[in-house]
Amino acid sequence: MSKNPYCFGSIFAKEMRSYLSLRESQGHQASKDIHILRTLDQYLQSNEIAEKQLPHSIVEGWLQSLPEGMHINTKIVYISHFTQFANYLRILGISAFIPERPRENRLYAPYIFSQSELVRMFAAADGRVFEKKGDKTAQLQFPLVLRMLYGCGLRVDEALTLRTEDVDLDAGIFLIRNAKGNKDRLVPMDSSLTEICRRYAAVCRKSAAPQSLFFENRKGERRSQAWVHSWFCWVLKKSGIEKPDLPRYNRNICPHCLRHTFAVDSFRNQDLAGVDLYAAAPLLSTYLGHTKSYGTQRYLHMTAENSTDILNKTNNYTQGLFPEVPL
């Protein structure tokens, strides 16, 4: 199992370690599993649970001990990961209660970047002088990561887990392995992004082994999501994009918004080209790696602010069609 600074100490410590090892052997990134199981482990220790079973009372007690105000969607993630661990315990013959998933909150409206904001963000990322002396690789990596998140709609974790052999610089295709839903998929990129990848590879991955990470730090380790978020926040500030003041645990402007922006811009471009958006949705769904159609179809409900060009086009077609209403 990968290096983990937290040492499990509850009655389920052995099972938690073996479960994480199994997950990693299957190709999963276990960082989120570790974080969630750690909260469960700490709850079991603080309540001196000594019997190796997880009845309803213990599981519900753990869920209620999570931070007050935690967003319902975050709690769903906790329950989802715990459910997989509970099923693992059941296979071992250990009784484990599986809680019901609450209804997901669909009211979240992602931030969609305008073209002018994207231009400012890319310019800021390209021009940043890295604060840590000597880490020139980071100066080349983040501007490319930023462009991959927007240019291909990748999830942050998908970009950071790419290996050198997964980036086909001849065909201009990324191979995304073990993505959400445990599926692999091929992601073509625009020729402009392919060219940027070639330039980066020529400098940083020239003699890299095929199995090595496409984005790695000076120690040859995987770049963290915290690294991406740190750079992203700096770029937002430099670009003059302010995060709204939201309650704690509410989703704010984050790197994942670039994926949302990619989807919205893709639909807009296809609509202006005369493509039936509902016919295009399944293709974009496959490209994004969505397991359910809802994940893609919600992007069809674009705001007027982000669809002014489409509205203008529609107005041209409908001009004179409807009768005037007296004022």
Strand 173-179 to 183-188 pairing: antiparallel
Which positions ≥6 away from 6 have C-beta within 8 Å? Answer: 34, 38
Q: Using the predicted structure, report yes or no on whether residue 313 has a pLDDT greater than 70.
A: no
What was the pLDDT predicted at 304?
37
Q: Which residues pair with 183 in a beta bridge?
A: 179
Q: Using the predicted structure, report yes or no on whether residue 144 has a pLDDT greater than 50.
A: yes
Mean pLDDT, rounded, for 87-99 = 94
Q: Find which of 34-48, 134-148, 166-180, 290-304 is predicted with most confidence, using mean pLDDT.
A: 34-48
Mean pLDDT of the chain: 83
DSSP string, 91-160: HTT--B--PPPPPP----------HHHHHHHHHHHHHPPPSSTT-HHHHHHHHHHHHHHHHS---HHHHH
pLDDT in tens, 252-263: 899 999 998 988
pLDDT in tens, 187-219: 999 999 999 999 999 999 988 899 999 999 888
DSSP string, 284-295: HHHHHT-SSTHH
pLDDT in tens, 47-62: 999 999 999 999 999 9
Mean pLDDT, rounded, for 218-226 = 88
Q: Using the predicted structure, report yes or no on whether residue 303 has a pLDDT greater than 70.
A: no
> Cβ atoms within 10 A of the Cβ of 144, count?
21
What was the pLDDT predicted at 6?
81
Distance separating the N- and C-terminal Cα atoms of the chain: 72
Q: Using the predicted structure, report yes or no on whether residue 154 has a pLDDT greater than 50.
A: yes
Q: Using the predicted structure, report yes or no on whether residue 315 has a pLDDT greater than 50.
A: no
The answer to whether the beta carbons of residues 255 and 232 sit under 8 Å apart is yes
Local structure of residue 251 (DSSP, 8 states):
-
Report CA torsion sign: 300, 302, 306, 311: positive
Tokens read off for 299: 């992007």
The answer to whether the beta carbons of residues 187 and 155 sit under 8 Å apart is no
What was the pLDDT predicted at 201?
94
Mean pLDDT, rounded, for 28-51 = 91
Range with lowest mean pLDDT among 265-269, 277-281, 317-321: 317-321
Mean pLDDT, rounded, for 102-109 = 64
Mean pLDDT, rounded, for 119-141 = 79
CB burial of residue 206 (10 Å; 0-12, 13-18, 19+): exposed
Q: How far is CA 303 from CA 110, 168, 259, 311, in A?
A: 11, 36, 16, 10
What was the pLDDT predicted at 49?
94
What was the pLDDT predicted at 310?
46
Residue bearing the bigger pLDDT, 149 or 251:
149
What was the pLDDT predicted at 171?
94
Residue 249: which pLDDT band, with cuts at 50, 70 and 90?
A: low
Range with lowest mean pLDDT among 72-76, 102-106, 168-172: 102-106
